[in-house]
Structure 1
Amino acid sequence: MLRPKLFALTAIASLFAISSAHATVDLIAFAQIDGNRGDLSKETSAPLENGAPGNLLGGMGSGFAYAGCHTFLALPDRGPNAIPYNSAIDDTASYIDRFQTLHLRLKPASKGADLPFTLTPQLVDTTLLHTSDKLVYGNGAAYGVPDGAPKLNRKNGTFYFTGRSDNFDPTHLSNNDRDARLDPESIRVSNDGKSVFISDEYGPYIYRFDRSSGRRLDTYKVPDAFAVSTLSPVGATEISVNTSGRVANKGMEGLAISPDGNTLFGAMQSPLLQDGGTNGAYTRILKVDLRTGKTTQYAYPLTNTGTAAKPNYPTISDVLAINDHELLVDERDGHGLADNSVAKFKHVYRIDLGHAQDVTHASGEAGLEPYAVTKTLFLDIVAVLSAHGFDPINIPAKLEGLAFGPDVTIGGVKKHTLFVTNDNDFLPTVTDSNHPDGIDNPNKYFVFAFDPSDLPTLVAQQLDETKSKSQSKSHDHDQTHEDAVCSRDDNDDDHGDDNGHGNDHDNGHGHND
């Protein structure tokens, strides 16, 4: 039974409590990858229905995960649907979902450099997502478009997940795991490094994939209350004809994994329809016990960036586990580069679910408000980037990926790192009123460093690939030991160069182990 907290959150009280961030959190490195080039999946390089290359290297900041030894996994979303094509399917195309493996090593910068570290991105692998289960694809006839099934299905003897919005079975709820449509938004690595967990917006779904082949291994049940019952390839239609479930294109945007690897935390980008939708003040975080499948729900209070009379709520883009009960939450507006506007609100908050109450049986804004968790501001991204000379009109509108990275030493002091990435919507360049002559819109990587005292309860994920299990109780592991281990792995990555031209092969070809 739910019991109200002793206090109620109000917009004014919330803003007062979170008015300042940690002063020691600062930008130490910045890098980018050209959004015009292709990834390493040459099998998918043929033009999509909208004319974009099927392997365009974009959207990589939708999800971001550290995999140990300077290796990160970058997750694009459903593909280049920002290119106008066919509104009857929300301009989506048969882009095959995938994740990219990157090598990102921080190195001390030369004296006099603007930032203390350099970061050189190196693309080393592309892994396509698929399953041995037969999936449902749209035939496209009703919309005057080709069949939604990728040609590679037959060639490689498998069923690939794609971004096409009509790839669903209308007789089931939207969380039907046989639907081929997948809009990946967050990714986390299992502790043994052999698989990845991915959350999505269409279902919402939470799937586990084999990291090497990209084959789906498992499905984790998301409560039916998160799904919609009337499906449509047009998001606006799904919103208008449903009264409960996720808001279209605002599903499970964030995913975190506990340090011991036993628990996932999935964050809904916006409140469910029954909780007020995009006008609601409280969205949900779903806790999933991977051993039992048991789920628990928590209410997260979105910041009112408007007024009491006319509220305006941002969205959640990602969550990151500090330990088994505390999370960092990426809450942001949609303003900045690619939105023809000025970035204003891009905050990372800290929350504690340790004593929060389960809101599974609560509904509506009034029902969630008494049980909402409290939050404190950890990082004001716009403020820090502006202090380093980034014009707010050029700060990406969609800063969507969070990941802790390797520790660094600055002035003899060890610091932790937080990587923040953007989703460039597969738009390599942007031309708008703020940039009438056009501006490059690459995949960007911002690295922030902070003192251990800023997050004293931080526990690093127990990744086997770091060969340093001693970090399970503290993020202050032996960096010298890790560097020694990772340097051996670095030698194995020499087949790639700084432009990301790595080994010429494709993963995810339906080798059903």
Structure 2
Amino acid sequence: MKTLKTLLPFVAILLLYSCHYLDDYTGGPISVPPQLVLEENTQYELPFEVLTTTTEGVEIRNGGYGSGATAHPTKKGEFYAITDRGPNTDFLDGKKFPVASYTPRIGLFAVTAEGNIILKKEILLKDPHGNPISGIPNPEGKGATGEIPYDIDGNQLPFDDFGLDAEGIVALHDGTFWISDEYGPHIVHYSEDGIELERISPIGINEGNRGRKIPAVFGKRRPNRGMEGLGITPDESTLVGIMQSTMYNPVRIRTDLTRILFFDLQTGTTKQFLYRQEDANLSNSEIVGLSNTEFLVIERDGKFSGSGPVQKHIYKIDVSNATDVSAANDNEEFGLLINEKTLEESSWEELEAAGIQPVSKVLVTDLVNKTGYPHDKLEGIWLIDNHTLGCINDDDFAVTDEDDNGIIEQKILPGTTPTIDASSLYMIKANF
């Protein structure tokens, strides 16, 4: 009996801890820490619904979650994932949007005790007046990329001042979100209900009346390769955005140099650092803060496994000894110049001679070697704990346009058995 009395306090503690995950006190679905129920290196599909089916029988799914991901700041079994601008294909001098009214959105997902991924909530993104936005490109002067929008029949669509091609997401403890995109590129602050609070851009747009902006050089981003990843330092003081690929600064240049932006949320001051990719034309798809100086970065190609050498890498980077390459004048169109050349025009040898060092980087994990990763677009990292990642792909709403002719096709994974690509979670153990 004495032994039982001794154990009772510990049993009570265990029961109390367990109840936190057995009941969320709202009558909603149960969520648990993924480490308790998910198998490592295993595919778990995110739920979806069919938006519409084309006359050719192609399913357009919603779906689409995986352009970016972030941990719920307080609930360990839950995470947020974001869609991009919606289903689209290349067409003429722009993009065809088969569901032109689609609104980019945030999904709140949970892992259940049974090891399933469930969608608990959708948050549609809205303009400052509370009206749902679209993923249609911005007009000139508002963040235009030069892409002309068309509907499914090939008719030109009107531009959207508040349109967003969302790619990176941060969830704060106050319930609000910061999102980066590929148009402006914009960094936009949204309320917990998805209403725009502030929009910051390199072209002087500032919805929110705070007069803050991104350095003008970021306006040189390539169409569809803008600020692909967005993270935040653990103290929530500084947003950290990473450009997907080399910017066209001043012309169409494709090298292995990309930029990282630090944006102090209190002061609006910025810093810039250089990141050196393993090869030209790769994509940096996500950045996640580990400390105020260390981050995880996705660096990938756009290939499916089995189509030759494939890269789906996650690196740990450190900016401690990297050079801040901010221009003396933040409004300078081309940014810092070296020997009258932009940084994108300069070789790494020239940059080193000028005393410029990129961030240091070390490989954390190779998802193809670890999991056989079948998807083309690794785009989201969810930091589960200090040694565990949730990795999510973008399934492009299950559609593609392989011939760049505007004809919508089903996005099928390579293999002997035809399988429609689906946004999926993989739990990965790694040392970082």
TM-score (ref. length: structure 1): 0.60
| 1:90 equivalent among 89, 92, 95 | 95
Q: Establish whether residue 423 from structure 1 lines up as the match of residue 394 from structure 2.
A: yes
Counterpart residue number, 1:326:
294
Counterpart residue number, 1:203:
184
Q: Establish whether residue 159 from structure 1 lines up as the match of residue 131 from structure 2.
A: yes
Counterpart residue number, 2:268:
293
Answer yes or no: is the 8 Å Cα contact 2:46–2:118 preserved in 1. Answer: no
Instruction: Give the aligned length.
Output: 336
Distance 1:35 1:101, change over 3 A: closer
Counterpart residue number, 1:263:
238
2-side partners of 1:418 and 1:342: how far apart?
26
Amino acid at match of 1:59: G
Answer yes or no: is the 8 Å Cα contact 1:330–1:400 preserved in 2. Answer: yes
1-side partners of 2:139 and 2:411: how far apart?
36
CA drift at 1:50: 12
Answer yes or no: is the 8 Å Cα contact 2:46–2:423 preserved in 1. Answer: yes
CA drift at 1:58: 1.5
Q: Secondary structure at the match of 2:96?
A: coil
CA drift at 1:358: 1.2
CA drift at 1:343: 6.2
| 2:314 equivalent among 348, 353, 365 | 348
Greater strand percent: which structure? 2
Q: Establish whether residue 186 from structure 1 lines up as the match of residue 164 from structure 2.
A: no
- Aligned pairs (5 A) from 1:232-247: 245-247=220-222
Counterpart residue number, 2:122:
126
CA drift at 1:87: 3.8
2-side partners of 1:326 and 1:399: how far apart?
21
Counterpart residue number, 1:375:
361
CA drift at 1:218: 1.8
CA drift at 1:219: 2.4
CA drift at 1:180: 2.2
Distance 1:210 1:51, change over 3 A: farther
Greater helix percent: which structure? 1
CA drift at 1:170: 1.8
Distance 1:303 1:32, change over 3 A: same
2-side partners of 1:99 and 1:332: how far apart?
23
Amino acid at match of 1:314: L
| 1:62 equivalent among 64, 67, 91 | 67
Amino acid at match of 2:180: S
Root-mean-square deviation (CA), in Å?
Answer: 3.1
Amino acid at match of 1:223: P
Distance 1:333 1:349, change over 3 A: same
CA deviation map 1:234-265 (0-9, x unaligned) = xxxxxxxxxxx000000000011110111110
CA drift at 1:272: 1.2
Counterpart residue number, 2:110:
103
- Aligned pairs (5 A) from 1:395-434: 395-405=374-384, 407=385, 416-427=387-398, 430-431=411-412, 434=414
1-side partners of 2:412 and 2:387: how far apart?
37
1-side partners of 2:68 and 2:55: how far apart?
25
Amino acid at match of 2:272: Q
2-side partners of 1:189 and 1:294: how far apart?
21
Structure 1 spans left out of the alignment, 5+ residues: 1-26, 39-44, 108-117, 134-157, 228-244, 305-311, 408-414, 456-513
Q: Secondary structure at the match of 1:222?
A: coil
Q: Secondary structure at the match of 2:236?
A: coil
CA drift at 1:268: 0.2
Answer yes or no: is the 8 Å Cα contact 1:63–1:75 preserved in 2. Answer: yes
Distance 1:437 1:283, change over 3 A: same
CA deviation map 1:338-368 (0-9, x unaligned) = xx83561111111111232111233233277
Answer yes or no: is the 8 Å Cα contact 1:98–1:126 preserved in 2. Answer: yes
CA drift at 1:314: 1.2
CA drift at 1:78: 0.8
1-side partners of 2:394 and 2:165: how far apart?
13
2-side partners of 1:48 and 1:260: how far apart?
47
Answer yes or no: is the 8 Å Cα contact 1:48–1:95 preserved in 2. Answer: no
Structure 2 spans left out of the alignment, 5+ residues: 1-38, 146-159, 201-212, 328-335, 337-341, 400-409
**Higher relative contact order, chain-length normalized (CA < 8 Å, sep 6+):** 1
CA deviation map 1:301-354 (0-9, x unaligned) = 0112xxxxxxx44110000111011111100011116xx835611111111112
CA drift at 1:132: 2.6
Counterpart residue number, 1:510:
none
CA drift at 1:37: 1.6
Amino acid at match of 2:298: D
CA drift at 1:403: 1.7
CA deviation map 1:195-216 (0-9, x unaligned) = 01100001100011112x1101
Distance 1:286 1:439, change over 3 A: same
Counterpart residue number, 1:114:
none
Q: Secondary structure at the match of 1:383?
A: helix
CA drift at 1:267: 0.2
2-side partners of 1:52 and 1:219: how far apart?
36
